[in-house]
């Protein structure tokens, strides 16, 4: 199982996932030109796409969904509630035959991957994260857009995590954003701060865990350095947890390297 975060920020999010020659996207917040360009940057042949997994209906996760799915004629995996939450204009652009619905909390299989969509706390219709498991029991957890998170066994001790580290609270409070938006982000149905992200990762990781890729950093209210510092401070308090973990930070402008789980 391989993956690369093609781009991630408040403005758009998409992650490439590959296993046994099957190619997928996790969320699709960018249009087809961007996706093709980033795949080219990674020397990935953009000849097919076997599915797109959608976590929720906010625009930074689905803005390019119709253009990408129609270009590749690729299936779209989402919950029925998320589909209902899409704007009418977006639904009109998606071919119904491409839709494949799942239920939050119920594992399903596509090709040789087991996919477990788990509920998260966000102000969307039916927001989920994803756990992907291959035939060798290697696991990748995708956890983003959640104001708070309570660890539980089903997604603990994964080999790798893509995890939200959205904002630094002081930067957010000092920003020019409206108070209603600040309160939304800081709420239990908003986004994880850097410190909360580090604590959440610490509660989830286990002996198998070797990689954390920080994700969905705010354009205005965070920096790569601050997000990294929060994790370094956490690992300084709990050195045994961090000694075998590689920490990477995704970017809004270019893809990460390809990681192998």
Give 223's contacts (C-beta < 8 A, 6+ positions apart). 168, 217
Q: What is the distance between the alpha carbons of residues 216 and 7, in angstroms, rounded to a whole number?
A: 9
Query: If phi over 0 gives left and psi between -120 and 50 gives alpha, with beta otherwise, what is residue 29?
Result: alpha
The CA dihedral of 103, 11, 45, 142, to the nearest 10 degrees, is: -40
Q: Residue 6 in 3-state DSSP? A: strand
151 pLDDT higher than 80: no
The CA-based angle 118-139-135, given to 5 degrees, is 110
Residue 13 host element (H or E): strand 12-19
- Structurally, how many domains does the chain consist of? 1
Instruction: Answer yes or no: is 143 within a domain.
Output: yes
Q: What is the distance between the alpha carbons of residues 230 and 104, in angstroms, rounded to a whole number?
A: 30
Give 50's contacts (C-beta < 8 A, 6+ positions apart). 22, 23, 24, 74, 75, 110, 111
Q: Residue 122 in 3-state DSSP? A: coil
Mean pLDDT score, 253-261: 96
Instruction: Answer yes or no: is 224 within a domain.
Output: yes
**Mean pLDDT, the chain, whole residue set:** 96
Supply the range of the domain harboring residue 168. Answer: 2-254
Q: What is the distance between the alpha carbons of residues 162 and 3, in angstroms, rounded to a whole number?
A: 10
Q: Residue 160 in 3-state DSSP? A: strand
1 pLDDT higher than 90: yes
Instruction: Answer yes or no: is 260 within a domain.
Output: no
Q: What integer pLDDT is reported at residue 152 of this predicted model?
A: 83
99 pLDDT higher than 90: yes
**Nearest by Cα to 62 from 94, 110, 95, 100:** 94
**Nearest by Cα to 163 from 106, 215, 98:** 215
Alpha helices in the chain (DSSP H): 32-41, 59-62, 65-72, 80-85, 88-93, 169-174, 179-186, 194-204, 224-237, 239-242
Q: Residue 96 in 3-state DSSP? A: helix
Instruction: Answer yes or no: is 182 within a domain.
Output: yes
pLDDT digits (tens, 9 = 90+) for 184-197: 999 999 999 999 99
pLDDT digits (tens, 9 = 90+) for 121-134: 999 999 999 999 99
pLDDT digits (tens, 9 = 90+) for 43-65: 999 999 999 999 999 999 999 99
Q: What integer pLDDT is reported at residue 43 of this predicted model?
A: 97
**pTM for the whole thing?**
0.97
pLDDT digits (tens, 9 = 90+) for 219-240: 999 999 999 999 999 999 998 8
Tell me the CATH number at 224: 3.60.15.10
Residue 22 host element (H or E): strand 22-28
Instruction: Answer yes or no: is 195 within a domain.
Output: yes
């Amino acid at each position: 199982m391989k993956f690369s975060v093609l781009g991630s920020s408040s403005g758009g999010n998409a992650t490439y996932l590959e296993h046994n020659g099957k190619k997928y996207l996790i969320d699709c917040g960018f249009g087809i030109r961007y996706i093709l360009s980033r795949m080219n940057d990674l020397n990935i042949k953009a000849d097919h796409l076997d599915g797109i997994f959608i976590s929720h209906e906010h625009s930074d996760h689905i803005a390019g969904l119709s253009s990408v799915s129609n270009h590749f004629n690729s299936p779209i995996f989402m919950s029925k509630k998320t589909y209902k939450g899409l704007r009418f204009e977006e639904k009109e652009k998606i071919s119904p035959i491409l839709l494949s619905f799942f239920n939050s909390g119920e594992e399903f299989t596509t090709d040789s991957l087991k996919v477990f969509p788990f509920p998260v706390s966000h102000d969307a219709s039916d927001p989920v994260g994803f756990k992907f498991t291959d035939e060798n029991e290697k696991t990748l957890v995708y956890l983003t857009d959640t104001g708070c998170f309570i660890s539980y066994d089903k997604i603990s001790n994964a080999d790798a995590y893509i995890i939200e580290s959205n904002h630094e609270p002081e930067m957010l409070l000092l920003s020019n954003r409206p108070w209603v938006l600040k309160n939304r982000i800081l709420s239990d149905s908003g986004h994880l701060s850097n410190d909360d992200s580090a604590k959440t990762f610490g509660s989830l990781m286990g002996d198998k865990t070797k990689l954390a890729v920080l994700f969905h950093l705010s354009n205005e209210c965070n920096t790569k350095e601050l997000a990294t510092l929060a994790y370094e401070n956490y690992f300084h308090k709990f050195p045994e947890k961090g000694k075998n973990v590689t920490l990477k930070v995704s970017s809004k402008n270019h893809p990460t390297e390809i990681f192998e789980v």
